[in-house]
Amino acid sequence: MKALLEGKVAIVTGAARGIGRAIAEQCAREGAKVVVSDIDEEGSRQTVDSIKSAGGDAFFFKADAGKAEDNEKLVQAAVDQYGALHIACNNAGIGGPQSALGEFPIEGWDEVIRINLSGPFYGMRYQIPAMLEAGGGVIINMASILGQVGFEGAGAYVAAKHGLLGLTRNAALEYSKHGIRTLAVGPGFINTPLLTDNLPEEQLNQLEQLHPIGRLGEAEEVAELVVWLSSERASFMSGAYVPVDGGYLSR
């Protein structure tokens, strides 16, 4: 059976660990050549080594997802190395401060918006022309369940992810007719070091109970969805928001 992404070139941002690493690895397993991007050089090289040891093709390009010029250079590096760009997963993001809006640090707001909302825009700004040149492509923006609902103390993150859904839908209106599909994926709380290393066990248990399925998600479960959406099996999907949330949004 033909691999889902055979012959494709993919960029994955925030690919040094967690969900981003799982997506990069799964894209490679399904035949894509992968550009691994992050500001974390050591973690990114571990991702590349993992892909190569499994027989895949990947290289690392250091880029700050929240800087327009870095996104431009990242896309150019993908085209220079592999000849085209077909898939981009704008996954890089940060949680930011936890504070009520009336006390929210201005610098924290600016940084969350820079990376979580402006970053995907900067990525799309340069990914789209490259995909048009390639004859089409797929852009997956990593949103969150908090792109649909609020969460106390996370105003900047919630605002950024809500905005990212609007950006995704607008791109679908503008570029679906040109062969570029854009979609947003909305993970629930996922079992990654970023979460589990920073929260006490009691709070993790509380988060688990917010998901009717009774547990946190796994990065590989998000990656499976991203790869399927990036493939021709999802060829009639564009502009959609697809949660992978263990039932969280059903409450």
Q: What is the CATH number of the domain that holds 19?
A: 3.40.50.720
Phi-psi region of 239 (alpha: psi -120 to 50; beta: other; left: phi over 0): left
**What CA–CA distance (Å, rounded) separates 104 from 14?**
25
Confirm whether 199 is domain-assigned: no
Q: Is residue 247 part of a domain?
A: no
Q: Which residues are catalytic?
A: 157
How many angstroms separate the Cα of 54 from the Cα of each of 12, 28, 30, 49, 89? 18, 9, 11, 9, 21
Work out how many domains the chain is built from and give that number: 1
**For residue range 108-137, what is the model confidence (pLDDT) as tens digits?**
999 999 999 999 999 999 999 999 999 999
Question: Is 230:10 a contact under the CB 8 Å cutoff?
Answer: yes
C-alpha span between 185 and 222 (Å, rounded) = 8
3-state helix, strand, coil split of the chain in percent (to 5) is 50, 15, 30
| Within-domain flag for 201 | no
Structure tokens at 183: 């979609």
- Tell me what the mean pLDDT of segment 223-251 comes to: 98
- Joined together, the tokens standing for residue 81 give 């190395």
Q: Please check whether residue 103 lies inside any domain of the structure.
A: yes
pLDDT of amino acid 199:
81
Q: Is residue 55 part of a domain?
A: yes
SS3 240: coil
CA dist., res. 74 & res. 68, Å (int)? 10
Measured distance CA(215)–CA(211) in Å, rounded: 6
**Average pLDDT over all residues of the chain:** 97
How far apart CA 131 and CA 69 sit, in angstroms, is: 18
Q: Is the pLDDT of residue 198 over 80?
A: no
207 domain residue, yes or no: no
**Which structure tokens are listed for 50?**
């993992």
For residue 131, give its domain range: 9-192+219-242
Share of the chain above pLDDT 90, in %: 94
pLDDT band at 179 (very low <50, low <70, confident <90, very high): very high
Does residue 166 lie in a domain region?
Answer: yes
Query: Which stretches within 57-154 are classed as H helix?
Result: 68-82, 106-113, 119-134
Indicate whether this model's pTM tops 0.75. Answer: yes
Per-residue pLDDT at 200 = 87
Radius of gyration of the chain (CA): 17
In a domain, 175, yes or no: yes
**pLDDT digits over 164-178, tens only?**
999 999 999 999 999
Question: Which residues make beta-bridge pairs with 90?
Answer: 141
Percent of the chain with pLDDT over 70: 100
